Amino acid sequence: MKRDPVASGTAVRSGTGVASGAPAVSGGVTAALGALGVVVGLRAVFGAPLHASIGWLVPFAGLRIDLDPLGGAFMALTGAVAAAVGVYAIGYARREHWARFPLVMLPVFVLTLLVVPAAGSVTTFLFGWEAMALTSLALVLTEHHRDEVRSAGLFYAVLTQIGFVAILVALVSLSSASGSGDFAGIRAAAGDLGPALRNGVFLLTVVGFGSKAGLLPLHAWLPRAHPEAPSPVSALMSAAMVNLGIYGIVRIDVQALGGGPRWWGTTLMVVGAASAVFGVLQASVSADLKRLLAYSTTENMGLIAMAIGASMLLGASGLASVAAIALTAALLHLVAHAAFKALGFLAAGSVLAGTGLRDLDRLGGLARRMPYTTVLFGIAALGATGLPLGAGFVGEWLLLQSLIHTPQGDNTLLSLVIPLSIGALALTTGLGIVAMVKAFGIGFLARPRSEGAEKAREASPTMLVGMALAALGCVVVAVAPAALGPALTRVASTLPSVGGDQGPKLGAILRLPGAAGSVSPAILAAAFAVAISLVLLLARWGVGARPAAVVRPLWAGGGPALTPRMQYTATSFAEPLQRVFDDVLRPDTDVAVTHVAESRYLIEKITFRTAQADAVEEHLYWPVVRAVAAVARGVRKAHTGSIHLYLLFGTIGLLVVIVVGR
């Protein structure tokens, strides 16, 4: 992963002499757009919906903006991420010498991200959606001089397009069947649509939006594109863009169609659970910091999809109040994920900028050279583990609560689905802890494993400010999720099946409606502080009889001084786990033994390499690709270049016409 300075310099600076103020302008505009998105979005959430219609934009259709609380909430969330990323990007772009093109595309990308949730019509939505795909693709390709980036870009482009096709077919069928191109109109007419259409739309949206959210099976672009994009872009993609996949599912399946039969929710839960477990498993064995974060995105989106699925399933089973808990869980976790994933990717970007590395096996010891970044990444990682005092805790807690509160004795489907979901959720949180401990512990603690890590530079002030903003978000979600309460209630009120006053109360203590169950992150945090001070007190025991504290070299087991090479690496850290999940992960291991020249019995070095292929890719994508390629080869064989054959084609056409046409 070491960057070749020459190649990077030539390609990034090619042809453009960027003024030194340009990063500030680009980042500033991005942040300002983000802030505007927050303001407008929040206004829409709290009762100032925005309507605008521009008929002359986009031929034959026109654009239409309809910002309701649901859209507003997503817009505000996107804006918040963008604001932090924008500030960060000022320093990052300067340090990485961005060319003019990405500087221009960054705010444009944010603009498209803001347009999507504000779209009031199918046309506007798809327009924004594809524009978002295009701008993000362009940004992913910023460092296109690297082979991995191009490969990632191709994956991204193709899978996004497949997803887009699914969405397009779903939305266009929906709008033509309901006779309206506006979401409002679709919503009004949704009740009269036939079940076949509704089911088709649901499946297509799960595939299409799921691909954007990184859900199985169209997830493969995510762990490629997110790591290879420049880090501010990774942050925007992983913390804001994927959310819009969830938004699509909520907007269409939950809001417009008002939910469906039970198998809808079940399907979504299965997809979500599979994504969550698969994602976290991959994350926990991944040795690339950004790839790990990207797989963690698949994991968290899977959890959110599970929550939405649960909400749909429960809503369809007539359990509105529990459904509301599940939905709140989804929304809250969405916010939490946005906060900690943005922070995570920004911090990873700082590491990349400071060391030129993202390979955990070569990092380490950053805590001393990059203390602020380390602390900030620690906050993000804590959030991602789902442990208390972290940002991810409350969302996962709510999800678990919704599952616990599902009465199920008399319903076989629920009795099957709910326990299995709990199992998946449980496995996910367990593995999530491993992944994050690895990322933080191996990457930032211990001693540097390479020269790059040894010479790490702390992030620049604007980068730190950007990260601090995201960290603030993490802390708020972790300690005071109550702050989000009013907004979430407003959003939930726009959704049928969970509407009304049934949602969980997000006060200082989170309480569930009509059920026993509560938790209070704020009080827990306070109590934890008290507990820690108590421990500080305990630690004073015997302090008078104690010799003065000293600093000593590490205990090397009696051997000579430890070298950084002797440390555990990310790969070795994950090795036991990889062994456990050998059958699922199917790693590709390769041991190469080099003997010394003189004797076969003496070994000079042993190289152990293990590569982790994506099982879904292996068993789903490539067969399809091979099949298409085989058909294509067949078609190609039919085009031999022989003019006689070509004329024969025409003749056959002529004969067919003669036979059919008469």
> Which residue lies nearer to another protein by CB, 207 or 469?
207
Compute the residue count for the chain.
662
State both tokens at 551: 């600093």
Q: Which stretch binds another protein (CB under 8 A): 74-82, 90-98, 168-176, 216-224?
A: 168-176
Element (H, E) at 52: strand 50-54
Rounded Cα distance, 551 and 470, in Å: 35
Query: Which residues, 6 or more positions from 460, have their beta carbon under 8 angstroms from its beta carbon?
Result: 91, 94, 95
| 623 touches another protein (CB under 8 A) | no
DSSP 193: S
Residue 110 in tokens: 């944010």
Using CA atoms, how far residue 606 sits from 596, 602, 634, in Å, is: 11, 11, 46
Q: Judged by CB under 8 A, which of 19, 48, 52, 556 binds another protein?
A: 556
Using the rule CB under 8 A, is 193 a contact of another protein? Answer: no
Stretch that binds another protein, among 79-87, 350-358, 467-475, 634-642 (CB under 8 A): 634-642
Three-state DSSP class for residue 438: helix
Site residues (CB under 8 A) for another protein, limited to 269-298: 284
- Please give the residues from 4 up to 43 whose contact with another protein meets the rule CB under 8 A: 7, 10-11, 14-15
Q: Which of 21, 51, 176, 596 binds another protein (CB under 8 A)?
A: 176
Q: Which is nearer to another protein, 109 or 393 (CB)?
A: 393
Residue closer to another protein (CB basis): 70 or 424? 424
Write down the residue that tokens 């993202």 correspond to. Answer: 358
Determine the interface stretch with another protein among 44-52, 228-236, 340-348, 640-648 (rule: CB under 8 A).
640-648
The 10 Å Cβ neighbour count of residue 149 is 20
Beta-bridged to residue 593, according to DSSP, are 606
Tell me if 234 sits within 8 A of 365, measured CB to CB: no
| Binding-site member from 230, 259, 364, 485 for another protein (CB under 8 A) | 364
Phi-psi region of 259 (alpha: psi -120 to 50; beta: other; left: phi over 0): left
Q: Which of residues 384-423 bind another protein (CB under 8 A)?
A: 385-389, 393, 397, 400-401, 403-405, 407-409, 415, 418-420, 422-423
Sign of CA dihedral 536, 542, 543, 547: negative
Asked whether position 229 contacts another protein by CB under 8 A, the answer is: no
Please say which residue, 462 or 520, places its beta carbon nearer to another protein: 520
Cα–Cα distance for residue pair 311/14, rounded to 1 Å? 51
| Number of chain residues interacting with another protein (CB under 8 A) | 161
At which residue do the structure tokens 């064989």 appear?
A: 637
The answer to whether residue 372 forms part of the interface with another protein (CB under 8 A) is no
Distances (CA, A) of 601 to 578, 592, 596, 597: 31, 15, 8, 10
Cβ distance 179 to 189 under 8 Å? yes
Task: Kindly state whether residue 203 participates in binding another protein, applying the rule CB under 8 A.
Answer: no
- The amino acid sitting at 318 is G
Q: Are 373 and 458 in contact (CB under 8 A)?
A: yes
Q: Indicate which single residue of 3, 25, 161, 615 sits in contact with another protein (rule: CB under 8 A).
A: 161
In the bound state with another protein, the residue whose beta carbon lies nearer, of 246 and 403, is 403
Q: What is each CA distance from 117 to 15, 243, 271, 483, 563, in whole angstroms?
A: 36, 10, 23, 22, 52
Binding-site member from 147, 192, 583, 604 for another protein (CB under 8 A): 147
The one segment of 228-236, 247-255, 345-353, 438-446 that binds another protein by CB under 8 A: 438-446
**Least distance CB 607 / another protein (angstroms):** 19
Q: Which stretch binds another protein (CB under 8 A): 30-38, 429-437, 455-463, 480-488?
A: 429-437
| Region from 149-157, 292-300, 323-331, 352-360 binding another protein, contact rule CB under 8 A | 149-157
Residue 456 sits in the site that holds another protein (CB under 8 A): no
Nearer to another protein, 596 or 627 (CB): 627
For 566-580, letters b (16+ CB in 10 Å) and e give ebbbbbebbbebbee
624 binds another protein (CB under 8 A): no
Binding string, 44-83, against another protein, x = CB under 8 A? Answer: ------------xxxxxx----------------------
Nearest approach in angstroms of CB 160 to another protein is 10
- Residue 480 makes contact with another protein by CB under 8 A: no
Q: Nearest-CA neighbor of 432 among 217, 580, 278?
A: 278
Rg, C-alpha atoms of the chain: 27
Q: Does 368 bind another protein (CB under 8 A)?
A: yes
Residue 209 or 397: the one with the smaller Cβ distance to another protein is 397
* Beta-carbon-side half-sphere exposure of residue 235 (alpha carbons within 13 Å): 32
- Of residues 44 and 324, the one with the C-beta less far from another protein: 324
- In the region spanning residues 521 to 550, those forming contacts with another protein, defined by CB under 8 A, are 523-524, 527-528, 531-532, 534-536, 538-539, 541-543, 545-550
Stretch 92-131: interaction string toward another protein, x if CB under 8 A: -------------------------------x--xx--xx
Which CB, 72 or 392, lies closer to another protein? Answer: 392
Is-contact 287 360, C-beta < 8 A? Answer: yes
Dihedral over alpha carbons 36, 41, 47, 51 (to 10 degrees) = 80
Q: How many CA atoms lie within 13 A of 358 on its CB side?
A: 25
Q: How big is the CA angle at 362 (ends 361 and 367), to the nearest 5 degrees?
A: 105
Q: Show Cβ contacts of residue 388 under 8 Å, excluding neighbours closer than 6 positions.
A: 521, 524
Binding to another protein by residue 606, rule CB under 8 A?
no
Identify which of residues 494 and 520 has a Cβ nearer to another protein in the complex. 520
Cis peptide bond N-terminal to 217, omega within 30? yes
Residue 300 contacts another protein per CB under 8 A: no
Q: Is 617 in the site for another protein (CB under 8 A)?
A: no
Q: Which of 5, 195, 318, 560 binds another protein (CB under 8 A)?
A: 560
From candidates 255, 350, 462, 567, binder to another protein by CB under 8 A? 567
Q: Does 602 bind another protein (CB under 8 A)?
A: no
- Of 141 and 379, which CB lies nearer to another protein in the complex structure? 141
Min. distance of Cβ 302 from another protein in angstroms? Answer: 15
Does position 568 interact with another protein (CB under 8 A)? The reply is yes
The CB density around residue 601, as the number of other CB atoms within 10 Å, is 7
Residue 310 CB, nearest distance to another protein (Å)? 14
- Alpha-carbon gap, residue 103 to 99, rounded angstroms: 7
44, 75, 85, 141: which one binds another protein (CB under 8 A)? 141
- Residue 402, SS3 per DSSP: helix
Angle at 371 between CA 365 and CA 374, to 5 degrees: 70
172 binds another protein, rule: CB under 8 A: yes
Q: Does 553 bind another protein (CB under 8 A)?
A: yes
Give the binding range for another protein (CB under 8 A) out of 69-77, 239-247, 251-259, 512-520: 512-520
The answer to the question of residue 178 lying near another protein (CB under 8 A) is: no
- Please report whether residue 639 would count as binding another protein according to CB under 8 A: yes
154 CB-near residues (< 8 Å, 6+ apart): none
d(CA 406, CA 326): 10
Q: Is 505 in the site for another protein (CB under 8 A)?
A: no
